[in-house]
Amino acid sequence: MTKFIDLTLNGISTGAIYAAVALALVLIWRSTRIVNFAQGAMLMFTTFIASAVISSGGSYVLGFVVALASGFVLGGVVERVVVRPVENAPPLNAVILTLGLYTLLVAIAGMIWGNSPRSFPAAFSLHGYTVGGTTLLFTPNDTFIVLVVIFVAVLLALLFRRTTLGLRMRASAFAPEVARLLGVRVGRMLTLGWSLAAMVGALAGVLVAPSVFLGPNSFDPILIIGFVAAVLGGLDSPPGAVVGGLVLGLATSYVSGYEGDALVPLAALVILMLVLMLRPTGLFAATRERRV
Amino acid sequence: MLTIEDLTTDYGPIRAVDHVSLEVPEGSVTAVLGANGAGKTSLLRTICGLVRPTSGHVKVEGEDITRWAVEEIVRFGVAHVPEGRGVIAELTVHENLRLGGLWRGRDAMPLREIYDLFPRLEERADQPASRLSGGERQMLSIGRALTGRPRALLLDEPSLGLAPVLVAQIMTMVRRLADTLGLAVLLVEQNARSALSIANRGIVLNLGRVVAEQDPQKLASDERLLHAYLGF
């Protein structure tokens, strides 16, 4: 029973990280209909920047803020420089470009920071809480992870639902041409969408880095699971991404706890296949009738 | 108010708009008639910047807006209600309406006034626009364009797919908007008779070219012309 509770709590914490990764993918898919394969490399890069800030004497908080800020900037730059020029080309062009960007960022990170993984500090203690004499796997740092991701998800929901900026962004995502005809500067909204997405990705990077170590390729497995979570949630539904992330977090936690770590990627792929076979539009299908 | 000078638009080798010139004064309705493929929609899309012209000019109150970006043209006061209405189905009626006036900031037309014009929209304010009927979508589309207090209104086939009673209602509404708000309305229609019934000026397009430009009563009674170009 303790083991089950442990695995559940652990699943919620990793699920929060998957949710953040899935959110980053979903925000970009929604606004530009591109699966951003560079997302893993982007969040790796911003985490390295945070690591550089911290190892040169900056506080954890400073590193955290720098990671989010550089994610915001990087997302905007990628949209302007890489995605914008192929805006009117077939979507596959942009997808291939993000793959190229992935390779490029991984190579640059290797050149600057080397290829051997380094440790990354956690915000809070990594010693589990002790309840009635037993020590749980759930740590104060896990609490931090879950709370931060909830906070960001709520903030995004408020931005989209309650502000005029969010209304403009949603309109630009759903119907770019109509939005332009209503005076919305769609280009800026798309850039902002990429910036926000990359910032959420950067957040996932600093949150997960303490448990995976930091290297040019160390986030790849998380990105694959994050992608499955996004698909499970329907790929264009932010709440779906959060739920998908939690489901994947719990599923992978149980699988690794009861069956062993080695089966985790396999489990994720099985879930992906099941979703695509049984409910291809995801659990939170937002695909309604688009135009009449 | 809205002046089109010698406007030509090509889609590759196909000439969609062929040296069209016309003038829409303030507070008036100009009806542009023509069959499918006559270049009516292309004309409107060129005016509002969605399509780049090969040559010619679009001027609003003397200002040449020909190569401006779509959103800047809209912000200069040219509202376009696209064919098929362009309602954003995922947003609520209320959100659609607000969106139209956002760029105007505090000077946007209060939604109260839109709801007074179209009471049906108020009843459905919080429903997603996907639930609206064809007539309601048309009202939403026109209402949404008005929230930005435009000077010129481009309407692309507002009667499309609507019952005759609704068509008459929409046309009366368009006339009233031109009269009360001083809008310059460019009304593109296949439904020649109802468009001409409210127009100050009628223009017939064929293969992108202006083939007739007349007083609407004369045009409406010119059976031969209407038959030749509109299939009546």
Kindly state whether residue B128 falls inside one of the protein's structural domains. Answer: yes
B12 and B72 together in one domain = yes
Amino acid identity for residue A56 in this structure:
S
Decide if B35 contacts B77 (C-beta within 8 A): no
Q: Do residues B70 and B115 share a domain?
A: no
Look at residue B102 and tell me if it is in a domain.
Answer: yes
Q: How far is A180 from chain B (nearest CA, A)?
A: 5
Which residue in B143, B40, B126 sits closest to B85, CA to CA?
B143
pLDDT for position A285: 62
Give the pLDDT mean for B8-21: 93
My answer on whether B45 and B60 are in the same domain is: yes
Mean pLDDT of B187-202: 92
pLDDT score of B117 more than 70: yes
Better-scored residue on pLDDT, B86 or B68 = B68
CA dihedral B189→B193→B198→B199, nearest 10 degrees, is: 60
B130 shares its domain with B105: yes
Tell me if B99 is assigned to some domain.
yes
pLDDT of residue A30: 87
In chain B, pLDDT over 90 holds for what percent of residues?
A: 80
B129 & B32 share domain? no
Interchain CB distance below 8 Å, A179 and B100: no
- What is the per-residue pLDDT for A205? 96
> Between chains, do B74 and A292 touch, taking CB under 8 Å as contact?
no
Distance CA A112, CA A116 (A): 12
Residue B100: list chain A partners with CB under 8 A.
182-183
Mark whether B53 and B159 lie in a shared domain: yes
Residue B58 backbone zone (phi > 0: left; psi -120 to 50: alpha; other: beta)? beta
CA of A103 vs chain B CAs: smallest distance (Å): 35
Give yes or no: residues B26 and B101 share one domain.
no
Higher pLDDT, B214 or A214: A214
Residues 163-192 of A with CB under 8 A from B: 164, 167-168, 170-171, 174-175, 177-186
Any domain includes B101: yes
Inter-chain touch A177–B91, beta carbons under 8 Å: no
Contact check, Cβ <8 Å, A181/B75:
no
Tokens 């003038």: give the residue: B23
Query: What is the Cα–Cα distance from A67 to A152, expressed in whole angstroms?
Result: 15
Greater confidence, A112 or B35? A112
Looking at CA atoms only, how far is residue B89 from chain A in angstroms? 6
Residue B125 lies in a domain: yes
Cβ–Cβ below 8 Å for A183 and B95: no
My answer on whether B122 and B220 are in the same domain is no
* Residue A230 to residues B1, B9, B149, Cα–Cα distance (Å): 51, 43, 41
Instruction: Answer yes or no: do B95 and B127 share one domain.
Output: yes
**B15 in the same domain as B39:** yes
- Tell me the two tokens of residue B224: 């031969």
- Separation CA A255–CA A258 (nearest Å): 5
State the pairing for strand pair B184-189/B152-156.
parallel
pLDDT mean across residues, chain B: 92
Q: Residue A91: what pLDDT?
A: 82
Q: Are the Cβ atoms of B89 and A168 closer than 8 angstroms? A: no
Establish if B177 belongs to a structural domain: no
B170 lies in a domain?
no
Tokens of B146: 């008005």
Q: Is the domain of B196 the same as that of B222?
A: yes
CB contact under 8 A, B90 and A180: no
Tally the residues of chain A: 292
Q: What is the DSSP string of A180-240?
A: HHTT--HHHHHHHHHHHHHHHHHHHHHHHHHHH-B-TTTTHHHHHHHHHHHHHHTSS-HHH
CB atoms within 10 A of CB A129: 15
Contact B88 A174 (CB under 8 A): yes
> Could you tell me if the ipTM is greater than 0.85?
yes
Ordered domains of chain A (ranges, CATH): 2-118+139-278 (1.10.3470)
Domain that holds residue B109: 82-149
Distance CA B135, CA A141 (A): 56
Q: In what order do the strands lie in the sheet with B14-24?
A: B14-24, B2-11, B55-60, B63-64
Please indicate, yes or no, if residue B173 is contained in any of the structural domains.
Answer: no
Q: What token pair was written down for B77?
A: 């006061």
Asked if the model's pLDDT at residue B232 lies above 80, the reply is no
**Structurally, how many domains does chain B consist of?**
2
> Measured between alpha carbons, how far is A27 from A238 in angstroms, rounded to an integer?
7
Q: How many CB pairs under 8 A join A and B?
A: 78
Distance CA A43, CA A188 (A): 22
Å between A86 CA and nearest CA of chain B: 18
Q: How many helices (H) and strands (E) in chain A? A: 11, 2
* Torsions phi, psi for B39 (to 5 deg): 105, 10
Q: Percentage of chain B surpassing pLDDT 70?
A: 99
Q: Is B182 left (phi over 0), alpha (psi -120 to 50) or beta?
A: left
In angstroms, what separates the C-alpha of B16 from chain A's closest C-alpha?
20
Q: Which residue, of B149, B174, B208, is where some domain finishes? A: B149
For residue A162, count CB atoms less than 10 angstroms from its CB and return exposed for 0-12, middle for 13-18, buried for 19 or more.
exposed
pLDDT tens across B153-173, in order?
Answer: 999 999 988 899 999 999 999
Amino acid at B32: V
Question: A164 and B75: CB-CB below 8 Å?
Answer: no
- B89 and A288 within 8 Å at the Cβ level: the answer is yes
Per-residue model confidence (pLDDT) at position B84: 75
Does residue B59 contact residue B126 with C-beta atoms inside 8 Å?
no
CB-CB under 8 Å, A180 with B102: no
Indicate if B87 and B72 belong to the same structural domain: no
Per-residue pLDDT of chain A (292 residues; tens, 9 = 90+): 788 999 999 999 999 999 999 999 999 998 888 899 999 999 999 999 999 999 999 999 999 999 999 999 999 999 999 999 998 888 889 999 999 999 999 999 999 999 888 999 999 988 889 888 888 889 999 999 999 999 999 999 999 999 999 999 999 988 999 999 999 999 999 999 999 999 999 999 999 999 888 999 999 989 999 999 999 988 888 899 999 999 999 999 999 999 988 898 888 889 989 988 888 787 776 554 333 3
B75 in contact with A at a CB cutoff of 8 Å?
Answer: yes
For residue B133, the chain A residue with the least C-alpha distance is A292
Chain A interface includes B98 (CB < 8 A): yes
Q: Are residues A135 and A129 in contact, defined by beta-carbon separation less than 8 angstroms?
A: yes
Q: Does B70 touch chain A (CB under 8 A)?
A: yes
Nearest-by-CA chain B residue for A172: B88
- pTM of the shown model: 0.88
Contact A181 B80 (CB under 8 A): yes
Whether the CB-CB separation of B108 and B102 falls below 8 Å is answered with yes
Among the partner-chain residues A168, A175, A181, the one whose CB lies closest to the CB of B102 is A168
Distance from CA of B228 to the nearest CA of A (A): 31
